[in-house]
Amino acid sequence: MANDSYRSGFVAVVGRPNVGKSTLINTILGNKVSIVTPKPQTTRHRILGVDTHEAYQAIYIDTPGIHRKANKAMNRMMNRTAANALVDADLVLFMTEANRWTEEDQDVLVRLENIAAPVIALLNKIDKVHPKEALLRSLAEMSERAEFVEVMPVSARKNENINRLVDLVPGFLPISEPLFPEDMTTDRSENFHAAETIREKLTLALRQEIPYGLTVQIERSVRDEKGIEINAVIWVERDSQKGIVVGKGGSLLKKVGRAARLELKHQLGLPVHLELWVKVKDNWADNEQDLLRLGYEAP
Protein backbone atom coordinates (compact mmCIF):
# COMPACT_ATOMS: atom_id res chain seq x y z
CA MET A 1 0.00 0.00 0.00
CA ALA A 2 2.84 2.40 0.78
CA ASN A 3 4.62 4.32 -1.98
CA ASP A 4 6.92 7.29 -2.41
CA SER A 5 4.09 9.75 -1.86
CA TYR A 6 2.39 7.94 1.04
CA ARG A 7 1.91 10.04 4.17
CA SER A 8 1.74 8.91 7.78
CA GLY A 9 1.94 10.79 11.05
CA PHE A 10 0.50 11.74 14.41
CA VAL A 11 -2.36 14.15 15.03
CA ALA A 12 -2.69 15.25 18.68
CA VAL A 13 -6.16 16.34 19.78
CA VAL A 14 -5.86 18.64 22.79
CA GLY A 15 -8.08 20.95 24.79
CA ARG A 16 -9.64 21.51 28.17
CA PRO A 17 -11.77 18.76 29.75
CA ASN A 18 -15.17 17.88 28.31
CA VAL A 19 -14.75 19.78 25.05
CA GLY A 20 -15.36 16.78 22.75
CA LYS A 21 -11.93 15.35 21.92
CA SER A 22 -12.90 11.68 22.29
CA THR A 23 -16.16 12.21 20.42
CA LEU A 24 -14.24 13.77 17.53
CA ILE A 25 -11.87 10.82 17.19
CA ASN A 26 -14.68 8.28 17.49
CA THR A 27 -16.60 10.14 14.77
CA ILE A 28 -13.61 10.30 12.43
CA LEU A 29 -12.88 6.60 12.83
CA GLY A 30 -16.50 5.51 12.81
CA ASN A 31 -15.49 3.33 15.73
CA LYS A 32 -15.55 3.81 19.49
CA VAL A 33 -11.93 3.79 20.62
CA SER A 34 -12.46 6.16 23.58
CA ILE A 35 -15.27 6.24 26.12
CA VAL A 36 -17.47 9.33 26.26
CA THR A 37 -19.54 10.83 29.08
CA PRO A 38 -20.84 14.34 29.79
CA LYS A 39 -18.52 14.59 32.79
CA PRO A 40 -15.07 16.23 32.67
CA GLN A 41 -11.90 14.14 32.92
CA THR A 42 -13.51 11.02 31.44
CA THR A 43 -10.40 10.39 29.31
CA ARG A 44 -7.44 9.55 31.56
CA HIS A 45 -5.05 7.87 29.14
CA ARG A 46 -3.23 8.51 25.87
CA ILE A 47 -5.19 6.49 23.31
CA LEU A 48 -4.29 6.15 19.64
CA GLY A 49 -6.95 5.93 16.94
CA VAL A 50 -5.54 4.77 13.60
CA ASP A 51 -7.25 5.98 10.41
CA THR A 52 -5.77 4.22 7.37
CA HIS A 53 -6.49 5.11 3.74
CA GLU A 54 -5.00 4.29 0.36
CA ALA A 55 -2.84 7.42 0.33
CA TYR A 56 -2.26 8.14 4.01
CA GLN A 57 -2.47 6.97 7.61
CA ALA A 58 -3.42 9.47 10.33
CA ILE A 59 -2.80 8.40 13.91
CA TYR A 60 -5.02 10.49 16.18
CA ILE A 61 -3.85 10.89 19.77
CA ASP A 62 -6.72 11.21 22.22
CA THR A 63 -5.48 12.99 25.34
CA PRO A 64 -6.82 13.80 28.80
CA GLY A 65 -8.20 17.30 29.11
CA ILE A 66 -5.61 19.77 30.36
CA HIS A 67 -6.97 21.28 33.57
CA ARG A 68 -5.88 23.72 36.24
CA LYS A 69 -6.78 21.79 39.38
CA ALA A 70 -4.05 19.14 39.51
CA ASN A 71 -4.08 18.48 43.24
CA LYS A 72 -3.73 14.69 42.97
CA ALA A 73 -1.02 12.57 41.37
CA MET A 74 -3.52 11.24 38.81
CA ASN A 75 -4.41 14.77 37.66
CA ARG A 76 -0.76 15.74 37.37
CA MET A 77 -0.05 12.56 35.41
CA MET A 78 -2.97 13.30 33.07
CA ASN A 79 -1.66 16.81 32.40
CA ARG A 80 1.82 15.45 31.63
CA THR A 81 0.34 12.81 29.33
CA ALA A 82 -1.52 15.48 27.36
CA ALA A 83 1.53 17.74 27.19
CA ASN A 84 3.81 14.93 26.03
CA ALA A 85 1.46 14.08 23.16
CA LEU A 86 2.38 17.44 21.66
CA VAL A 87 6.02 16.36 21.38
CA ASP A 88 5.14 13.53 18.97
CA ALA A 89 2.61 15.45 16.92
CA ASP A 90 2.94 16.35 13.25
CA LEU A 91 -0.34 18.26 13.51
CA VAL A 92 -2.30 19.54 16.51
CA LEU A 93 -6.07 19.92 16.65
CA PHE A 94 -6.87 22.45 19.38
CA MET A 95 -10.47 21.94 20.42
CA THR A 96 -12.56 24.58 22.13
CA GLU A 97 -16.28 25.07 22.49
CA ALA A 98 -17.94 27.43 20.06
CA ASN A 99 -19.10 30.66 21.69
CA ARG A 100 -17.34 29.83 24.97
CA TRP A 101 -13.76 30.70 25.91
CA THR A 102 -12.44 29.86 29.40
CA GLU A 103 -9.28 30.32 31.43
CA GLU A 104 -8.51 26.63 30.87
CA ASP A 105 -8.73 27.18 27.10
CA GLN A 106 -6.21 29.99 27.53
CA ASP A 107 -3.93 27.68 29.54
CA VAL A 108 -3.90 25.17 26.67
CA LEU A 109 -3.23 27.91 24.13
CA VAL A 110 -0.19 29.05 26.15
CA ARG A 111 1.19 25.48 26.00
CA LEU A 112 0.81 25.52 22.20
CA GLU A 113 2.95 28.64 21.80
CA ASN A 114 6.18 26.65 22.11
CA ILE A 115 5.48 23.73 19.81
CA ALA A 116 6.72 23.42 16.23
CA ALA A 117 3.76 21.52 14.78
CA PRO A 118 1.03 23.41 12.89
CA VAL A 119 -2.21 23.93 14.81
CA ILE A 120 -5.78 23.82 13.53
CA ALA A 121 -8.27 25.46 15.90
CA LEU A 122 -11.61 23.66 16.10
CA LEU A 123 -14.69 25.37 17.51
CA ASN A 124 -16.82 22.40 18.53
CA LYS A 125 -20.51 22.05 19.44
CA ILE A 126 -21.66 24.51 16.76
CA ASP A 127 -25.06 22.77 16.80
CA LYS A 128 -25.65 24.46 20.16
CA VAL A 129 -24.86 28.01 18.96
CA HIS A 130 -27.85 30.28 18.34
CA PRO A 131 -28.12 32.65 16.60
CA LYS A 132 -25.56 31.67 13.96
CA GLU A 133 -24.19 35.22 13.87
CA ALA A 134 -22.62 34.46 17.25
CA LEU A 135 -20.54 31.72 15.57
CA LEU A 136 -19.06 34.22 13.10
CA ARG A 137 -17.98 36.37 16.04
CA SER A 138 -16.38 33.36 17.79
CA LEU A 139 -14.49 32.42 14.63
CA ALA A 140 -13.15 35.95 14.27
CA GLU A 141 -12.08 36.09 17.91
CA MET A 142 -10.29 32.73 17.66
CA SER A 143 -8.43 33.82 14.53
CA GLU A 144 -6.98 36.74 16.49
CA ARG A 145 -5.70 34.63 19.38
CA ALA A 146 -2.83 32.91 17.52
CA GLU A 147 -1.39 32.04 14.11
CA PHE A 148 -3.50 28.97 13.39
CA VAL A 149 -3.17 27.32 9.99
CA GLU A 150 -6.96 26.98 9.95
CA VAL A 151 -9.90 27.89 12.18
CA MET A 152 -12.87 25.57 11.68
CA PRO A 153 -16.36 25.27 13.14
CA VAL A 154 -17.37 21.64 13.75
CA SER A 155 -19.82 19.46 15.62
CA ALA A 156 -18.16 16.17 16.53
CA ARG A 157 -21.41 14.77 17.91
CA LYS A 158 -23.50 15.73 14.87
CA ASN A 159 -20.71 14.99 12.35
CA GLU A 160 -20.85 18.53 10.95
CA ASN A 161 -17.82 19.70 8.93
CA ILE A 162 -15.82 16.62 9.99
CA ASN A 163 -15.28 15.44 6.42
CA ARG A 164 -13.70 18.78 5.55
CA LEU A 165 -11.37 18.47 8.53
CA VAL A 166 -10.39 14.92 7.58
CA ASP A 167 -9.61 16.09 4.03
CA LEU A 168 -7.18 18.71 5.40
CA VAL A 169 -5.21 16.35 7.65
CA PRO A 170 -3.08 14.42 5.06
CA GLY A 171 -1.50 17.63 3.80
CA PHE A 172 0.17 18.14 7.17
CA LEU A 173 1.56 14.60 7.53
CA PRO A 174 5.13 13.71 6.51
CA ILE A 175 6.03 11.36 3.66
CA SER A 176 6.29 8.00 5.40
CA GLU A 177 5.24 4.40 5.17
CA PRO A 178 2.31 3.40 7.43
CA LEU A 179 3.37 3.29 11.06
CA PHE A 180 0.74 0.70 12.04
CA PRO A 181 -0.93 -2.28 10.29
CA GLU A 182 -3.77 -1.19 8.02
CA ASP A 183 -6.36 -3.28 9.90
CA MET A 184 -5.48 -1.72 13.27
CA THR A 185 -7.83 0.92 14.72
CA THR A 186 -6.28 1.47 18.17
CA ASP A 187 -3.17 0.62 20.15
CA ARG A 188 -5.20 -0.43 23.19
CA SER A 189 -5.93 -4.01 24.22
CA GLU A 190 -9.28 -5.73 24.59
CA ASN A 191 -8.83 -5.74 28.38
CA PHE A 192 -8.17 -2.00 28.41
CA HIS A 193 -11.31 -1.43 26.37
CA ALA A 194 -13.36 -3.64 28.70
CA ALA A 195 -12.13 -1.75 31.78
CA GLU A 196 -12.89 1.60 30.15
CA THR A 197 -16.38 0.46 29.12
CA ILE A 198 -17.15 -0.51 32.71
CA ARG A 199 -15.82 2.83 33.94
CA GLU A 200 -17.94 4.67 31.39
CA LYS A 201 -21.11 2.97 32.62
CA LEU A 202 -20.15 3.73 36.22
CA THR A 203 -19.52 7.38 35.40
CA LEU A 204 -22.91 7.67 33.71
CA ALA A 205 -24.69 5.97 36.62
CA LEU A 206 -23.03 7.86 39.48
CA ARG A 207 -23.41 11.47 40.56
CA GLN A 208 -21.16 14.14 42.00
CA GLU A 209 -17.56 13.29 42.88
CA ILE A 210 -17.66 9.48 42.95
CA PRO A 211 -16.58 8.86 39.31
CA TYR A 212 -13.31 10.70 39.92
CA GLY A 213 -12.45 8.43 42.87
CA LEU A 214 -12.77 5.13 41.05
CA THR A 215 -10.92 3.11 38.46
CA VAL A 216 -11.38 -0.35 36.94
CA GLN A 217 -8.87 -3.17 36.66
CA ILE A 218 -9.39 -6.41 34.72
CA GLU A 219 -8.18 -9.31 36.87
CA ARG A 220 -9.07 -12.16 34.53
CA SER A 221 -10.25 -12.52 30.95
CA VAL A 222 -10.81 -15.93 29.36
CA ARG A 223 -12.12 -16.56 25.86
CA ASP A 224 -13.44 -19.86 24.50
CA GLU A 225 -15.96 -21.09 21.93
CA LYS A 226 -18.86 -20.09 24.23
CA GLY A 227 -17.77 -16.47 24.60
CA ILE A 228 -15.62 -14.39 26.91
CA GLU A 229 -15.55 -14.32 30.71
CA ILE A 230 -14.30 -11.14 32.36
CA ASN A 231 -13.61 -10.57 36.05
CA ALA A 232 -13.07 -6.93 37.00
CA VAL A 233 -12.35 -4.99 40.18
CA ILE A 234 -13.72 -1.50 40.71
CA TRP A 235 -11.31 0.35 42.98
CA VAL A 236 -12.60 3.22 45.13
CA GLU A 237 -10.73 5.47 47.54
CA ARG A 238 -12.96 5.22 50.63
CA ASP A 239 -15.31 2.77 52.33
CA SER A 240 -18.17 5.26 51.99
CA GLN A 241 -17.78 5.16 48.21
CA LYS A 242 -18.01 1.38 48.12
CA GLY A 243 -21.59 1.37 49.37
CA ILE A 244 -22.61 4.01 46.81
CA VAL A 245 -21.07 2.06 43.92
CA VAL A 246 -22.70 -1.21 45.00
CA GLY A 247 -26.09 0.44 45.59
CA LYS A 248 -28.98 -0.78 47.69
CA GLY A 249 -29.09 -4.56 47.47
CA GLY A 250 -26.41 -4.43 44.78
CA SER A 251 -28.81 -2.61 42.43
CA LEU A 252 -26.41 -0.06 40.97
CA LEU A 253 -23.64 -2.59 40.42
CA LYS A 254 -26.08 -4.90 38.62
CA LYS A 255 -27.27 -2.02 36.43
CA VAL A 256 -23.71 -1.04 35.52
CA GLY A 257 -22.70 -4.65 34.88
CA ARG A 258 -25.62 -5.22 32.55
CA ALA A 259 -24.97 -2.04 30.55
CA ALA A 260 -21.26 -2.85 30.21
CA ARG A 261 -21.94 -6.47 29.29
CA LEU A 262 -24.41 -5.54 26.55
CA GLU A 263 -22.04 -3.00 24.99
CA LEU A 264 -19.08 -5.38 25.11
CA LYS A 265 -21.19 -8.15 23.58
CA HIS A 266 -22.18 -5.81 20.74
CA GLN A 267 -18.64 -4.63 20.11
CA LEU A 268 -16.89 -8.00 20.45
CA GLY A 269 -19.57 -10.02 18.71
CA LEU A 270 -19.43 -12.63 21.47
CA PRO A 271 -21.49 -13.54 24.53
CA VAL A 272 -19.93 -11.87 27.59
CA HIS A 273 -20.06 -13.06 31.19
CA LEU A 274 -19.04 -10.20 33.46
CA GLU A 275 -18.25 -10.42 37.18
CA LEU A 276 -17.68 -7.19 39.12
CA TRP A 277 -16.24 -6.62 42.60
CA VAL A 278 -15.80 -3.34 44.46
CA LYS A 279 -12.68 -2.92 46.62
CA VAL A 280 -11.13 -0.06 48.56
CA LYS A 281 -7.59 1.20 48.02
CA ASP A 282 -7.06 4.26 50.18
CA ASN A 283 -6.19 7.39 48.22
CA TRP A 284 -5.04 5.45 45.14
CA ALA A 285 -5.45 8.52 42.90
CA ASP A 286 -2.74 10.41 44.81
CA ASN A 287 -0.16 7.61 44.86
CA GLU A 288 2.04 7.28 41.75
CA GLN A 289 2.99 3.68 42.54
CA ASP A 290 -0.68 2.70 42.86
CA LEU A 291 -1.41 4.49 39.60
CA LEU A 292 1.31 2.56 37.78
CA ARG A 293 0.05 -0.75 39.21
CA LEU A 294 -3.47 0.13 38.06
CA GLY A 295 -2.37 0.70 34.47
CA TYR A 296 -1.74 4.44 34.36
CA GLU A 297 1.31 5.32 32.29
CA ALA A 298 4.24 7.33 33.54
CA PRO A 299 4.71 9.92 30.76
Name every residue whose Cβ is closer than 8 Å to that of residue 100 and which is 6 or more positions away in sequence.
none
**The model's pTM:** 0.92
How many CA atoms are closer than 13 Å to the CA of 16, on its beta-carbon side? 18
Residue 158, class by beta-carbon neighbours within 10 Å (0-12 exposed, 13-18 middle, 19+ buried)?
A: middle
Contact in structure between 191 and 218 (CB atoms under 8 Å):
yes
Please tell me if the domain spanning 7-172 has the same topology as the one spanning 190-293. no
Can the peptide bond before residue 64 be classed as cis, meaning omega within 30 degrees of 0?
A: no
C-alpha span between 137 and 154 (Å, rounded): 15
- Mean pLDDT for back-to-back runs of 10 residues, the chain (299 residues): 84 94 96 89 90 97 82 86 88 95 94 94 94 89 96 96 97 97 94 96 83 90 93 94 93 96 94 96 91 81
Q: What is the reported pLDDT for 155?
A: 97
How do the domains of the chain map onto residue ranges? 7-172, 190-293
Q: What is the per-residue pLDDT for 298?
A: 65
Domain spanning 7-172, CATH class: alpha beta
* Domain 190-293 sits in CATH 3.30.300.20: yes
Which pLDDT score, from 0 to 100, does residue 297 have? 76
